[in-house]
Structure 1
Amino acid sequence: MKARHCPSPARSPRGTPTRAWPAALAPTLLGALLACLPVPQARAQAAEAPAPGSNPLFRDRFTADPAPLVVGERLYLYVGHDEAQRDEMFNMREWLVYSTTDMKTWTDHGPIMKVADFRWAKADAWAAQAIHKDGKYWFYAAVEHDGTQPGKAIAVAVSDSPTGPFVDAKGSALVTNAMTPKGTHSWEDIDPTVFTDDDGTTWIAWGNRQCYIARLKPNMIEIDGPITEITPPHFEEGPWLHERDGIYYLTYASLDRSQHRDEKVSYATAPSIQGPWTYRGELTGSGKYSFTIHPGIARFKGQWYLFLHNAALAVGDQSGAIGRRAVTVEHLQYNPDGTMKPVVQTEAGVSVPPPR
């Protein structure tokens, strides 16, 4: 290929450009010079929009603790909103919901509820999950109780729509710290997961360090019977219940404190929602730059998905941190024996087909 010859401006003996070009030639020469300038490829690539379905899913704000809910042809994703400033650990005041029909394009439905909507709660819109039952949408969330019941608690709200508005369904906590007296600390009653079995019974599991499970009454706002501890190995927090082909799965944020600093995701399986639970090991590693992680699992249009969070997102001049996380999603696959295949967390997410 022949080298392109580019005109050079006339220079004085000292090397400074002179105005020697005739005015009539100036536009032509300027165009030729501009054509010879290198294209800033890195900048152009950086300006390109991320591929739909790549991680993190939402890039205009910090989100955490993803909880999917499939309703017909649409998947709704409930998340906490991280608003930590500077060196704050957590600052979470509200829950948001997004939805999609194709796992690539998401609709932002805005806040569905604020922690202040539970008048008996004073702070911390922590992990939550919504389910659909008997024509209503039930929303279970971890909050900080006021001084009348110190410690973390689980609230329940209800709505006629998956996008709200949600209102306090009980007027008081569903679970308080006083209801789990064998626990070791005041924040053990967090991260509820709810699951309705084939017989129509709905169960709730939750916990930090200790994992508890209980049946809900048909009214969905009261515990029905005893609270049972089912803590699997290395359980830290963030349990998630689901069922596939007669196998029940308890997936959770795990932490082997003797070896690791950041949470990973592990799981156990059982032949019944009431156990016995068999530990199956690690499903995926830590989220990038994040101490915490929180699994959410759903089957949508024939494909299984694992939702997580990391701290790899920067928004404006704020980088990711313990209190500034970002929700992600990956394909989830199963082995013939029902165990889940290990998941590798990627930037591509579901913008690419699932691995074979």
Structure 2
Amino acid sequence: MNLKAKLVAALLLLGGALPHEAGAQNPFVQTCYTSDPAPMVHDGTLYVYTGHDEDKADFFWMQEWRVYSTKDMVNWTDHGSPLAIESFDWADDRAWAAQCIERNGKFYWYVCLHSKLSNTMAIGVAVGDSPVGPFKDAIGKPLHDGSWDYIDPTVYIDDDGRAYLYWGNPNIYYAELNEDMISLKGGVGKLEQTVESFGAPNPEKRVKGVKYKDTYTEGPWLHKREGKYYFLYAAGGVPEHIAYSMSDGPLGPWKYMGEIMPLQDTGSFTNHCGVIDYKGNSYFFYHTGKLPGGGGFGRSTAVEQFKYNADGTFPIINATREGVSPVGTLNPYERVEAETIAFSEGVKSEPNVKTGIYISEIHNGDY
């Protein structure tokens, strides 16, 4: 790391001495646009897998996925892009929402992207030996394709070892995964949406002019807590808010529970969430358009801490600039390179084959 980068790293560790908005942590990645966050905890570290919105984009022309990690919730290490469209020979565009999960010492990254084989969106899966890669296409073909609905996979491994995959916009599809995590066990199902389960019927059954309680749109997230299953999703069409349903089983029946994050003035007309517990706290990840130059096609990942209600339901969560409080500190006796950042402005991160991730585009006034 060169002297200039070392100076930047040292300044970043000063935290409150920097001239940014006092206490502001959101969005917590400022070196590029990141979207569709999917958190995962492994071996005491929290990882967040994101998409990458290109600068000055006029659509979701996305070419890669990125990984960030933290041990204290405020200092984030940029691990670059260990997976991209070019990792899949059968795909050519739209590296959209994804989620990574560990099983038996392997890390499985479920993605959606445009398939050259079917000329539709498809679900793919990559595998690696480390949470930060390298990753490679696990099967050399789509895990499932054939519809423009096939986006935004979410994956969950239940306590009994059975693994489930959900995806879809505006329909909701599901399948059980075999223990190898790279093949489907049986066929693909389609959830029957109803007013009771998701606030509205399936899209083809909705009556024009009828105002429903809510409408599932995309971006599902499945997790379990204290015996209850939670199915979170972007809802309401455009612009999107976050709503959820609950169940006693991983495949339902589901009951619509209401909104978690109502419409927010964040500059992004989409939203996409992920929920995780880490070091005794619960965290809600989402994206906004709050970075300079950001917006609907330039989104940035943010995080809020929350507490479940006494009955296990979600509270209302609003977007903040403050973000979350630290749950640890950096070790001053360990080498900390510039790609570990608490807050920055103006700089970018770039990959290098020999040195890994480095900080670039440093100008006067940047930090």
- Identify whether the pair has TM-score above 0.5, normalized to the shorter chain: yes
Counterpart in the other structure of 1:107: 77
- CA contact 1:92–1:126 (8 Å) conserved in 2: yes
The yes-or-no answer on 1:157 pairing with 2:119 is no
1:53–1:351: 8 Å Cα contact kept in structure 2?
no
Give the superposition deviation at 1:72: 2.1
Pick from 347, 351, 354 the counterpart of residue 321 of structure 2. Answer: 347
Residue 262 (structure 1) aligned with residue 275 (structure 2): no
Matched positions, count: 291
TM-score (ref. length: structure 1): 0.78
Q: Equivalent residues in 2 for 1:168-187 (5 A)? A: 168-177=137-146, 186-187=147-148
Deviations for 1:310-351, whole angstroms, at most 9, x for unmatched residues? Answer: 11111xxxx112210010001122111111111111111113
Task: Check whether the contact 1:251–1:295 (CA below 8 A) recurs between aligned residues.
Answer: yes
What is the CA-CA distance between 1:161 and the residue it aligns to? 0.2
Q: CA deviation at 1:101?
A: 0.3
Whole-Å Cα distance in 2 between the matches of residues 352 and 109 of structure 1?
20
Residue 106 (structure 2) aligns with = 136
Tell me how far 1:305 sits from its aligned partner: 0.4
- Which is higher, the Rg of structure 1 or of structure 2? 1
Q: Which residue of 2 aligns with 1:206?
A: 167
What is the identity, as a one-letter code, of the residue corresponding to 1:295? C
- 1:238 pairs with one of 195, 209, 219: 219
* Residue pair 1:94, 1:113 contacting (<8 A) in 2 also: yes
1:306 alignment partner in structure 2: 284
After TM superposition, the score normalised by the length of structure 2 is 0.76
The AA in structure 1 aligned to 2:164 is: W
What is the distance in 1 between the residues matched to 2:254 and 2:184? Answer: 22
Relative CO higher for 1 or 2, CA cutoff 8 Å, sep ≥ 6? 2
The answer to whether 1:295 aligns with 2:273 is: yes
1:276 match: 253
Post-superposition, which runs of at least 4 consecutive aligned residues in structure 1 deviate over 6 A?
A: none
Q: Is there any run of 5+ residues in structure 2 with no aligned partner, and where?
A: 1-15, 200-214, 328-367
Question: For the residues of structure 2 that align with 1:135 and 1:352, how far apart are their CA atoms?
Answer: 29
User: Cα deviation per residue 1:156-186 (whole Å; 9 max; x = unaligned)?
Assistant: 0000000000000010001102xxxxxxxx4
- Aligned with residue 121 of structure 1, among 63, 66, 91: 91
Work out whether 1:215 is the aligned partner of 2:176: yes
Cα pair distance change 1:141/1:312, threshold 3 Å: same
Question: Aligned partners of 1:289 and 1:212: how far apart in 2?
Answer: 29
**2:207 maps to what in 1?**
none
The residue aligned with 1:333 is 307
1:49 to partner: Cα distance: 3.6
* RMSD of equivalent CA atoms: 1.8
Report the Cα distance in structure 2 between the residues aligned to 1:132 and 1:52, rounded to whole angstroms: 33
Identity %: 42
Between the aligned partners of 2:326 and 2:320, the Cα distance in structure 1 is 10
Select 1:57's aligned residue among 24, 28, 33.
28
> What is the DSSP-based 3-state SS (H/G/I as helix, E as strand, rest coil) of the residue aligned with 1:76?
strand
Structure 1 residues 50 and 58: alpha-carbon distance in aligned structure 2, compared to 1, 3 A threshold:
farther
What 5-or-longer segments of structure 1 have no aligned partner?
1-44, 178-185
Note the C-alpha offset of 1:91. Answer: 1.8
| Distance (Å, rounded) in 1 between the aligned partners of 2:21 and 2:136 | 36
